[in-house]
């Protein structure tokens, strides 16, 4: 039995290259649609911002360089009900997200 029809994450581009830099704000929506109402106790997304670069120097003694930088790692909780609050029944859900990229 398939419960999920779709799970889509859409974000608003801040430039024509579709990239983000420090100080930008990642803004968008998460759309969740299921075949029938389900009980949800927790729904969240995790976002990571990484940069990787590598290059080689030319010539007879070629040297390789590389670097990795983690700019941010975030967890955004949309629904979080513990056992005392019960569960939320959903069929279609549209959730807003807003993340400032750390400077």
Counted domains in the chain: 1
Answer whether 49's CB lies under 8 Å from 20's CB.
yes
C-beta atoms surrounding 30 within 10 Å = 19
CATH number at residue 41: 2.60.40.640
Of 81, 72, 76, the C-alpha closest to 97 is 76
As a whole number of angstroms, the distance between CA 55 and CA 60 comes to 15
Residues spanned by the domain of 22: 4-100
pLDDT tens for each residue of 71-80: 888 888 877 7
- pTM, two decimal places: 0.59
Instruction: Provide the mean pLDDT of the chain.
Output: 79
Chain segment 32-50, per-residue pLDDT in tens: 887 777 777 788 888 888 8
Closest listed residue to residue 13, CA positions, set 3, 24, 2: 24
């Amino acid at each position: 039995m398939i419960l999920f029809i779709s799970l889509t994450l859409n974000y608003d581009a801040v430039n024509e290259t579709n990239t983000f830099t420090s100080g930008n704000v990642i803004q968008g929506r998460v759309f969740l649609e299921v075949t029938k109402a389900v009980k949800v106790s927790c729904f969240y997304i995790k976002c990571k911002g990484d940069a990787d670069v590598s290059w080689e120097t030319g010539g007879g003694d070629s040297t390789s360089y590389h670097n990795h930088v983690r700019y941010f790692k975030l967890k955004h909780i949309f629904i979080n009900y513990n056992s005392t609050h019960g569960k939320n029944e959903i069929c279609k859900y549209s959730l807003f997200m807003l993340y400032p990229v750390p400077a």
